[in-house]
Structure 1
Amino acid sequence: MKVKRIFAPDMRQAMRRVREEIGPDAVIVSNHRVAGGVEVVAAHEQEYEAAQAEFKRQNEERRRRESPPRQPAGGRQEAGLDDEMRKVRARIASAQQQVERPEEPGLGVVRNRQIEREDDEDLRSILETLKSRQQARAEFPPLDAEPPRRMPDPQPQPQPQPQSQEQAGQDGDHRMILTMQQEIQQLRAMLENQMKAPQSQPQPSPRPQVPAAQAKLTRRLDSLGIGGRVVRHLVGNIEQGIELDKAWRSSLARLSDAIPVVGEEFIERGGMVAFVGPTGVGKTTTIGKLAARYVLKYGSSSLALVTTDSYRIAAHEQLRTFGRILDVPVRVADENHSLDEVLRSLKGKRLVLIDTAGMSANEPHTGEQIELLKGISLRLKKLLVLSCSSQRRVLESAYETYRGLGLNGCVLSKLDESGSLGEALTLAIERQLPIAYVTDGQKIPDDIGVARRHDLVSRAVVTAQKALEREQQSGDDPGLSFIGQAG
């Protein structure tokens, strides 16, 4: 019979030794305080009844040697119950103090929340818990072990009847052993939890699983080039259990609502409009298209073109060509004629379109161009031209370079050359930069139009679908498919 009597300075170390020497299926037969620490008697779960009987026999022999002359049966039973009740309460209080006092450096104060009240109702609850646990073990034994022998259920307290002193003493011992066993099992479970995870460090809550519909929607929106923060916003409130095609159309509708657009012909308002942005994004071509649209509708007498690009050789020749074709005056701002002077000379024109030098953020003349535009005394509108064929970092860099001017909106160019529109749409959504126009070719004045939310989303889906088809034809199938468009 594998029964161990273990001495330790405290209950924590005693429980650790029980687990190491007997194993996780150990059952505490008894425990009590001794000089210098605690004494714990433990046995394997399958040998619990034999150990309990042995412990009971030893207690009876020790009681016979140490007990005073016996009292009458009725008085002996009541006194024994009172004594055992006081002993159990003392042991519970002692165990609670032992757990509340930190045993090792770095451990916070741990309170025993399982033992809060010390009254008869708690003791009866402990007995009932032990009974139900033993019944559960008997009904559902482990698959890899023999079913443990069922421990006899504690008998309900009979009505006070005359009985022998020996029988009363046995009943009291039995109740005491059951109560102590349950108490130690509770303490052991609590201490094991403390050793696994200290109370001072709360356990992280499990991360909720993403529903399958949301995961598929996230992949599709990612394939459009939409940024992660915008994607999370779009799929975050999708209804549970909704069909995938409905969820997809709902996400596209929400994307459409989130895109900021001017929604009307920007040049119809008149005034002086400067087009800024990096080199090669199509500023001059965009100005030519807008000038042609305006001349076809209002004539050329109220329109003028201006360029500030004096850094590149023959940089203003393309704009001069547009002026000759449209019969529109073209002015150049240089070291002899400042931009402010040129614009003041054109105050009589209803619309003035200004072409600026295209430079990146790292070029030395970029700061000069920005200061030139800031120093204008007249009211000046600024539109940032962004190429949809550029990467997200290039778009962000262009925005950060010119944001100090006070941008009134943007123009998305080269939609026909782009493999994804999501990056430009994400920038417009996150920065709340209204989109005024979109361009998708070199034809003047046909390949330009006022930005519309629904049209932008449809173009984004069609562009992603074409990119997907090209990947599939090349043999690199990412396993995506699109269900319709903005609907």
Structure 2
Amino acid sequence: MQVKRYFAADMRQAMNRVREELGADASIISTRRVAGGVELTAALDYQVQAKVSRPNPALEAELRKTQAQIMQAQVSLQARDEGGASGRDRQLLEQVMQRVSEPVAAQPQMTQQASASQGEMMAMRSELNSLRELLEMQLGNMAWSNMRAQQPMHAALWKRFQKMGLSAEIIRPVLERVAHEKDQHQAWRMALAYLTHAVRTPNNEAIDEGGVIALVGPAGVGKTTTLAKLAARYVLTHGASNIALVSMDSYRIGAQEQLKTLGRILNIPVSYVADGVTLAETLQPLAHKKVVLIDTAGLPASDPALGLQLDSLSAAGVKAKNYLVMAATSQGQVLKAAWHAYKRCGLAGCIITKLDEAISMGEALSMAIGHSMPVAYTTDGPKIPDDLQVPRSHQLISRAVRLQSSEEPTEEMMAQMCVGSPLAVQSVG
């Protein structure tokens, strides 16, 4: 028997190394998370031994959920034609089922009196997460392979959307709506039309509607610069008598100085929320202004001051329209984290910045579509106020298409996107 241990950044890379070195006949003996990634032990000609697992009621429920998912996948596999799945995929899936089923089947035979130690619980959770990753990886690979074979047109559309940077959650419903279309070019045009309809843009410009407008978001996304563009745009159109600026950013001296300079150039008043003074109290002397623009501090989600700042914006009497500023250069996970951190203040929409530096618009558009946030403005350069636009849906989608990557996505990327897709489930079943 040949046994080898592999270290990799994630389960997918570890499995690829097993295939390359030991082949499809290898058995997975154990998996666990370690510093820097995962550790996977695999062997050739390995006979699985019965194992005794210490009882853990909390994890048993988790294991049963995973086992149910695996059993459902097995039923789908068995219902397929014999030529639908490769022997390697089926064998690896069966190995995962065997690994997950063992502790669940063993527990009813034992008297579940004692609980596992904290260290054992963490180890079991780590193993469970690794097994789930392995299962999702295999199902994704099978789903993508079947989609390419059985629905080549949809597979081609998946690739084009992935090159635009759109998330799987946005792509899936669009592909479902064009599933009946047989012509690929027509399906692509229809899909873009559905995407255009999904992107919301306001009928009236935010600063023309007036009121208190606050720009929120993490540090570095361009909040202060965007506020300067909005202020200059308003002054050039309506004059300086009915607009004021307010800063909640007491953390960066540079931000305050920038607002002071802007106020002096545009001849508009600039106020600051002082210590011990609420935002509502700061806004009271400005009640006669038609537009009040608020610049906020970009604080980490873990900073307690962020919660206080967002509570001030959503407090009774403030009535601010809060816009999440999202840099088009940010990764999807960063944008998701920002939305989760700032949604508590109530978001009227979003502003997409730094389009001139972006290599993709899909991540930002996915957030706007997925969370029904109207895109109030976009910015694409440093010029004030020239590089500020009021977008239209078709313009945003057209620009996203133009910015799509020229590189073809890897098979692993496509398999990962296919996990959980209704179209993929149909192709597997």
TM-score by length of 2: 0.59
The equivalent residue for 1:378 is 318
Contact 1:339-1:376 within 8 A present in 2 as well: no
- Are the structure 2 counterparts of residues 202 and 257 from structure 1 closer, same or farther at C-alpha, using a change threshold of 3 Å? closer
Contact 2:259-2:270 within 8 A present in 1 as well: yes
- Are the structure 2 counterparts of residues 417 and 237 from structure 1 closer, same or farther at C-alpha, using a change threshold of 3 Å? same
264, 271, 274: which is aligned to 1:334? 274
Contact 1:275-1:383 within 8 A present in 2 as well: yes
Distance 1:393 1:333 in 2: 32
Give the partner amino acid of 2:339: Y
Distance 2:259 2:313 in 1: 19
The equivalent residue for 2:190 is 250
Map Cα deviations across residues 438-480 of structure 1 (whole Å, 9 max, x no partner). 111111111111121100001101111xx42xx59xxx9xxxx
Structure 2 unaligned blocks of 5 or more: 1-74, 85-145, 411-429
Query: Map of 1:258-407 to 2, 5 A cutoff?
Result: 258-335=198-275, 337-407=277-347
The equivalent residue for 1:205 is 79
Query: Map of 1:67-466 to 2, 5 A cutoff?
Result: 204-206=78-80, 209=147, 210-238=150-178, 242-335=182-275, 337-464=277-404
Give the partner amino acid of 1:411: I
Distance 1:381 1:438 in 2: 17
Distance 1:329 1:388 in 2: 31
Q: What SS is found at the alignment partner of 1:370?
A: helix
Quote the offset at 1:239 in angstroms: 5.3
Distance 1:380 1:202 in 2: 51
Give the partner amino acid of 1:396: K
Give the partner amino acid of 2:206: F
Distance 1:374 1:241 in 2: 46
Map Cα deviations across residues 309-359 of structure 1 (whole Å, 9 max, x no partner). 112233311111111111111011111543221100100101100001111
The equivalent residue for 2:114 is none
Give the partner amino acid of 1:250: M
Distance 2:177 2:398 in 1: 22
Higher RCO (Cα < 8 Å, 6 or more apart) = 2
Q: What SS is found at the alignment partner of 1:335?
A: coil
Distance 2:77 2:328 in 1: 46
Map Cα deviations across residues 170-200 of structure 1 (whole Å, 9 max, x no partner). xxxxxxxxxxxxxxxxxxxxxxxxxxxxxxx
Q: What SS is found at the alignment partner of 2:215?
A: strand
Give the partner amino acid of 2:213: V
Give the partner amino acid of 2:242: S
Quote the offset at 1:241 in angstroms: 6.5
The equivalent residue for 2:115 is none
What RMSD in Å do the two structures reach over aligned CA positions?
Answer: 2.4
Quote the offset at 1:237 in angstroms: 3.2
Q: What SS is found at the alignment partner of 2:283?
A: helix
Identity %: 43
Q: What SS is found at the alignment partner of 1:408?
A: strand
Contact 1:305-1:354 within 8 A present in 2 as well: yes
Greater CA drift, 338-347 or 215-224? 338-347
Structure 1 unaligned blocks of 5 or more: 1-200, 477-487
Quote the offset at 1:387 in angstroms: 0.8
Distance 2:188 2:263 in 1: 47
Q: What SS is found at the alignment partner of 1:381?
A: strand
Distance 1:433 1:241 in 2: 29
Quote the offset at 1:284 in angstroms: 0.8
Give the partner amino acid of 1:444: I
Q: What SS is found at the alignment partner of 2:293?
A: strand
Map Cα deviations across residues 199-230 of structure 1 (whole Å, 9 max, x no partner). xx897432775421111011000110111122
- Are the structure 2 counterparts of residues 373 and 247 from structure 1 closer, same or farther at C-alpha, using a change threshold of 3 Å? same
Contact 2:196-2:393 within 8 A present in 1 as well: yes
Give the partner amino acid of 2:244: A
Contact 1:226-1:422 within 8 A present in 2 as well: yes
Distance 2:192 2:313 in 1: 38
Distance 1:420 1:379 in 2: 34
- Are the structure 2 counterparts of residues 260 and 203 from structure 1 closer, same or farther at C-alpha, using a change threshold of 3 Å? same
Contact 1:384-1:407 within 8 A present in 2 as well: yes
Distance 1:344 1:246 in 2: 56
Give the partner amino acid of 2:361: L
Give the partner amino acid of 1:432: S
Bigger radius of gyration among the two: 1
TM-score by length of 1: 0.53
Map Cα deviations across residues 109-160 of structure 1 (whole Å, 9 max, x no partner). xxxxxxxxxxxxxxxxxxxxxxxxxxxxxxxxxxxxxxxxxxxxxxxxxxxx
- Are the structure 2 counterparts of residues 234 and 324 from structure 1 closer, same or farther at C-alpha, using a change threshold of 3 Å? same
Quote the offset at 1:407 in angstroms: 0.9
Distance 2:215 2:240 in 1: 20
Give the partner amino acid of 1:421: M
Distance 1:243 1:388 in 2: 32
- Are the structure 2 counterparts of residues 341 and 237 from structure 1 closer, same or farther at C-alpha, using a change threshold of 3 Å? closer
Contact 1:264-1:450 within 8 A present in 2 as well: no
Contact 2:235-2:266 within 8 A present in 1 as well: yes
Give the partner amino acid of 2:356: D
Contact 2:279-2:318 within 8 A present in 1 as well: no
Map Cα deviations across residues 226-277 of structure 1 (whole Å, 9 max, x no partner). 1112212112232556333222222111111111222331111111111111
Give the partner amino acid of 2:224: T
For these two proteins, the number of residue pairs brought into alignment is 271
Contact 1:264-1:436 within 8 A present in 2 as well: no
